[in-house]
Amino acid sequence: MGKEIERKYLIDLARWQTVQKPAGQLFRQGYLVTDPNKTIRVRLTDTKGFLTIKGTTTGATRLEYEYEIPTTEAAELLDNFSTAELSKIRYVVEFKDKTWEVDEFLGDNLGLYVAEIELESEDEAFELPDWVGQEVTGEQRYYNAVLTTNPFKNWM
Q: What share of the chain is helix, strand, coil (3-state, %, to 5)?
A: 20, 45, 35
Q: Determine which one of 31, 91, 113, 142 is catalytic.
A: 31
How far is Cα 50 from Cα 129, in angstroms, rounded to an integer? 29
R_g of the chain, CA atoms, integer Å:
15
The distance in angstroms from the start CA to the end CA of the chain is 39
Distance CA 93, CA 19 (A): 9
67 in active site: no
Please list, residue by residue across 46-62, b when 16 or more beta carbons sit within 10 angstroms of its beta carbon and e when fewer do.
Answer: eeebbbbbbbebeebbb
Active site residues: 31
